Chain A
């Protein structure tokens, strides 16, 4: 009986710990997959509120896949499958730079190309690649988040890398 009580997500402490464990990964996953336009933060909120409403039905082991599936579905409801354009932080030109304007221009061109190339990736490729390169997550961690095999992650990321390099060369 006591064990069962502890397993209930309706308890605020357990709910909070689940939130702390998964919300950031969920947010980044949504961001890389769908971009910023569709408010990934709001979707994370909504997904966890839904988890709370169903806390009696969802076991803690299922909580992760529940919120990921819920948030993903919420996004898909809104996303009319437009191109996902990720924003990049502009490296601010230093006040006294010894880099030539030519170099800076080339640099800007490269970033724009990369932006377009990322938008050309499939959702599956982009989410895996960005989690790997930007968040520094290893294949195994990504596999756990996406509920797929490590081999599949490797394939997606490697495929993404090849496609990016090809696109950048062509653009």
Chain B
């Protein structure tokens, strides 16, 4: 074996007895051993593995890095959830329109149909589902001019009115449910029975009883022109309508609310209106603040 092989084997602690003898006979054997032994003085500082491990583990636990890859996803998920929730909430939210006593309002629906809402009424519809479902919920009285298109439903607590592009009035007050068709064809579903109305036809239910009415001749309901018109209707209905238009309360003494009344009153002048509804029945009235007391002359 040559010198280099011997030294290499020595370095690798790989010398057999024979090799060791040969290595010892090398002229620089002493130098090599001295160098090797002296090098050991340069040993690295003691390294305490378990102490260092504890340090690493405490660093890791303090920095709480283990959650670092979960948290960003949680944040993203939370933001998405909020956005989606907000979107869902706003798109499914119904549009609500209400009128107070003595107030009327015009509403344009998403398809250019128009609704005129009479006093003390409430209308709700959903803008976003309008394309698929033309449904409005109504409490009170409203006049509809419906643009041509898919089925248009007016849902009230008394019944549902279904139309296809027409003009009609719906009045739903307490025990009173009236639909008048002015143009086109209107279907009224009441107690799951459908009645078809042609122009001029009306459908009237008072206290659950169907009442026949003569043909309507006006092109629009009278209240659109700030008048309330009645044809053979119980007097208490007239008083209720009056209260809605003028924000007053009636106290009636010895008056028969069921007697039929034909006539009209204006929405613009309370004195004239009061005379219009009292003179024909020979009643007297006295007014204090918002309370009106009605008395029979007889």
Contacts and interface: CB of A to CB of B under 8 A. Distances in A.
Interface in A11-63: 12, 16, 19-20, 23-24, 27-28, 31-32, 36, 40-41, 44-45, 48-49, 52-53, 56
Contact of B38 (A28, A32, A40, A114): A114
A162 to B, nearest CB: 9
Contacts of A49: 56, 59-60, 63, 65
A95 interface: no
B12 A139 contact: yes
Contact of B52 (A44, A91, A111, A118): A44
Interface in B77-107: none
Interface of B: 4, 7-8, 11-14, 28, 31-32, 34-36, 38-45, 47, 49-50, 52-53, 55-57, 59-60, 63, 65-66, 68-69
Contact of B11 (A19, A86, A157): A157
Main secondary structure of the interface of A (DSSP, over half): helix
A24 B38 contact: no
Nearest to A44: B52
A134 interface: yes
A159 to B, nearest CB: 11
Nearest to A113: B38
A71 interface: no
B65 A52 contact: yes
A10 B67 CA distance: 11
B248 to A, nearest CB: 76
Nearest to A16: B53
A89 to B, nearest CB: 5
Given A19-B53, A48-B56, A161 B35 contact: yes
Contacts of A138: 12-14
Contacts of A165: 28, 31-32, 35
Nearest to B43: A134
A16 B66 CA distance: 15
18 contacts: A20-B50, A23-B47, A40-B44, A45-B59, A49-B56, A49-B59, A49-B65, A52-B65, A88-B42, A91-B41, A130-B42, A133-B40, A136-B13, A154-B8, A154-B12, A157-B8, A164-B35, A165-B32
Given A45-B55, A158-B8, A134 B31 contact: no
Given A53-B68, A88-B38, 15 more contacts: A12-B57, A16-B53, A19-B52, A19-B56, A20-B50, A23-B53, A27-B44, A40-B44, A45-B56, A115-B42, A118-B42, A130-B39, A138-B12, A158-B7, A165-B32
Given A133-B40, A158-B4, A158-B7, A36 B45 contact: yes
What 10 A-B pairs are tightest by C-beta distance, nearest first? A88-B41, A31-B44, A133-B39, A86-B42, A27-B47, A139-B12, A48-B56, A88-B42, A28-B44, A89-B41
A161 B52 CA distance: 33
B44 A132 contact: no
A133 to B, nearest CB: 5
A168 interface: yes
A19 B49 contact: yes
Contacts of A41: 47, 52
Contacts of B28: 165
A45 B12 CA distance: 31
Given A19-B56, A23-B49, A161 B38 contact: no
B42 A161 contact: no
Contacts of B13: 136, 138
A113 to B, nearest CB: 10
Contacts of A91: 41
A24 B56 contact: no
B35 A114 contact: yes
B38 A16 contact: no
A108 to B, nearest CB: 11
A154 B14 CA distance: 12
A39 to B, nearest CB: 11
Contacts of A45: 52, 55-56, 59
Contacts of A10: 66
A23 B43 CA distance: 16
B65 A53 contact: yes
Contacts of B43: 89, 134-135
Contacts of B32: 161, 165
A156 B178 CA distance: 106
